[in-house]
Amino acid sequence: MVPQIVVLIGGIIIVALIALVIFFERKAANSNSSDDSGNYSSENIKSEIILNSIDDGVMLVDANNTIQLFNPGASRITGWKTEEATGIDYKAVINLIDQKGEPYTDQDSPFIKALTAKAAIRDSDAFYQTKSKTTISLDIGVTPLFDDEEEFQGYIAIFRDVSAKKREEQQRADFISTASHEMRTPVAAIEGYLSLALNSNVSTIDNKARGFLLRAHENTKHLGKLFQDLLTSSKAEDGRLENNPSVVEMGDLIVNLVNDFKVIAEAKNINLELLLGGERNALSEGKSINVVKPLYFAHVDPIRIKEAVYILFDNALKYTDTGKISVGLTGNETVIQVRVQDTGIGIEPENVNHLFQKFYRIDNSQTRTIGGTGLGLFICKKIVDMYGGRIWAESEKGVGSTFYINLPRLSSAQAEDIKSREANKGVVINNTTSQQSN
């Protein structure tokens, strides 16, 4: 009897132990997924759920360029199944192309750029050919990964199919472009007729009518400027802005431009100063410009750069009642810097970072009466971006503002090289033309 009781008690203990093990295992398993309230508590499970459910493509690449993680979002976008993409070189899967359908070079690649810059790089204008050869617009951000010893560990890339958004943007831009183009012509005609009505050599009107027509004329001019700016900005946005870069000596360009500004500044009784490489030239005092200056070569379309500097000058004049506008040109070995400084109304710090956004106008008692479209600085930035430059502003409310444009500077040798290549191109074109005409 005693041995039977011992066996029974032993059996009960073993069953109890198994039950306990099962109980704790279940508990451990539960704590890995979700508790009774449905909260996910394990970090791994949380990450997996996020990676599996988000729409964005997420891809982890190791230091050998091999894909280690490719989430379902990435599969949906690219057409590559997770198991096909994982374990192969990322370049076989993420083959980006540009607007013209040309494959990205290493210089264009956000991966190489991120590795070189050791910083996150975003490319919102990339195109991608899916596995089924459909071209989509891709917005891709790449972050390089480094360990504590600064050793490269790989990349994390997050991308999104933005084809629908880009199509909508294009339709909107097309509409604005067509509408402003179509409306510019009748507005120009109205402006012309109003000018004739206001011209006492052509028309006879009483003072009351003159007052009305003057206001109509001012507003029509504003409308014409708005349509012109809309057209320019929509062209700048989709790369249709005419751009014929050549080697330009920025010193000559700025001197000529400032001479043109002189008349406009004098009409408003504003002093205009030109500073070339640190030299001071008081143009408003009528002194001629005679400065031994360094040559600042840039590869830009002079028409576009003049347009950008003109916008800065026009703003400086618009937003300055008294004092001085100073236009400066300096640089170092690699950068040319154009500066337009005024002693005008200034800008509050919270507005400075938004100035280059489309339609951004500061609305306060000082600006409300000054006409504008909010497109000038947007256009300026688009032009400067086109040449790999940078534009920014510094300002103090009530003291004045300074706008800077930095452009890449060419050495004299580079300038000569580009000039001779462009001249040769001209010869080839001329030869071809003459052969064709023969």
Q: Which residues bind ligand ADP (CB under 6 A)?
A: 311, 315-316, 319, 342, 344-345, 347, 355, 360-362, 367, 372-378, 401
Q: How far is the CB of 173 from ligand ADP (least distance, A)?
A: 18
Q: Which is nearer to ligand ADP, 154 or 376 (CB)?
A: 376
Q: How far is the CB of 409 from ligand ADP (least distance, A)?
A: 25
Q: Which is nearer to ligand ADP, 299 or 382 (CB)?
A: 382
Q: Which is nearer to ligand ADP, 199 or 357 (CB)?
A: 357
Query: Six-digit token pair at 296?
Result: 């600042």
Q: How far is the CB of 429 from ligand ADP (least distance, A)?
A: 38
Q: Which is nearer to ligand ADP, 331 or 372 (CB)?
A: 372
Q: Which is nearer to ligand ADP, 96 or 258 (CB)?
A: 258
Q: Which is nearer to ligand ADP, 84 or 314 (CB)?
A: 314
Spell out the SS3 assignment of the chain: CHHHHHHHHHHHHHHHHHHHHHHHHHHHHHHHHECCCCCECCHHHHHHHHHHHCCCEEEEEECCCEEEEECHHHHHHHCCCHHHHCCCEHHHHCCEECCCCCECCCCCCHHHHHHHHCCCEEEEEEEEECCCCCEEEEEEEEEEEECCCCCEEEEEEEEEECHHHHHHHHHHHHHHHHHHHHHHHHHHHHHHHHHHHHCCCCCCCCHHHHHHHHHHHHHHHHHHHHHHHHHHHHHHHCCCCCCCCEEEEHHHHHHHHHHHHHHHHHHCCCEEEEEECCEEEEHHHCCCCCCCCCCCEEEECHHHHHHHHHHHHHHHHHCCCCCEEEEEEEECCCEEEEEEEECCCCCCHHHHCCCCCCCCCCCCCCCCCCCCCCCHHHHHHHHHHHCCCEEEEEEECCCEEEEEEEEECECHHHHHHHHHHHHHHHHHHHHHHHHHHC
Distance CA 291, CA 299 (A): 23
Q: How far is the CB of 239 from ligand ADP (least distance, A)?
A: 20
Q: How far is the CB of 223 from ligand ADP (least distance, A)?
A: 13
Q: Which is nearer to ligand ADP, 294 or 374 (CB)?
A: 374
Q: Which is nearer to ligand ADP, 61 or 325 (CB)?
A: 325
Q: Which is nearer to ligand ADP, 221 or 419 (CB)?
A: 221
Q: How far is the CB of 322 from ligand ADP (least distance, A)?
A: 13
Q: How far is the CB of 364 from ligand ADP (least distance, A)?
A: 8
Question: How many CA atoms does the CB half-sphere of 153 hold within 13 Å?
Answer: 9
Query: Six-digit token pair at 361?
Result: 């106008």
- Report yes or no: 55 and 45 within 8 Å, Cβ to Cβ: no
Degrees, nearest 5: CA angle 324-329-332: 145
Q: How far is the CB of 357 from ligand ADP (least distance, A)?
A: 9
Q: Which is nearer to ligand ADP, 184 or 358 (CB)?
A: 358
Q: How far is the CB of 190 from ligand ADP (least distance, A)?
A: 21
For residue 394, which amino acid is it? E
Q: How far is the CB of 419 from ligand ADP (least distance, A)?
A: 34
